[in-house]
Structure 1
Amino acid sequence: MNVQEREQLIKDINVLLHQAYDSTLNQIHALLKRIDDVDDEEDLKAIKETREDIRINGTVSWDEIQNEIRNEINKDVA
């Protein structure tokens, strides 16, 4: 979604929100909060998994990453 599409979507949602009943607004708020909480939980889970992977497998040095990139570039060129 580009910036213009996002802005238009927000405007459209705003119009609908201003027309909604209070009970509907409460439901929308609860759903948005729930979505935000799920996103936070997924982010925390990903962080924990990454930390566990680093603990088990160690980290990759910047030199190793650069070498890997160079090798991929050389494969594509060859």
Structure 2
Amino acid sequence: MKTEREREELIREINVLLNQAYDSTLDEIYALLKRIEDEEDEEDLKAYHAAKEDIQINGTVSWEQVKQELKKDVAKI
């Protein structure tokens, strides 16, 4: 994951290139970004359904148990 500063710099550089691009290139970039967003949404939906099915099969975990497991994971680091 990028830092906030890295993201801002990358966005500035992208904006420079976008402002220089032909309209047809902008259309292609938009279509590509939209397709990526749609694929990510689909992956999120699949993960949601998988998690929901897992809960139905295996039940849920208490918040106390989650906190204990997180403490163990942090201790390993």
**Local SS of the residue matching 1:43:** helix
Shift in alpha-carbon separation, 1:57–1:7, aligned structure 2, 3 A:
same
Deviation at 1:68, TM superposition (A): 4.3
Give 5+ residue unaligned stretches, structure 2: none
Is 2:6 the counterpart of 1:5?
A: yes
In structure 2, the residue matched to 1:40 is 41
Give 5+ residue unaligned stretches, structure 1: none
CA-atom RMSD in angstroms: 2.1
1:1-78 aligned at under 5 Å gives the runs 1-68=2-69, 72=72
Deviation at 1:63, TM superposition (A): 3.1
% identical aligned pairs: 58
Extract structure 1 runs of 4+ deviating beyond 6 A.
none
Q: Mark the structure with the bigger radius of gyration.
A: 1
User: Given the two structures, how large is their TM-score scaled by the length of structure 2?
Assistant: 0.84
Distance 1:22 1:2 in 2: 31
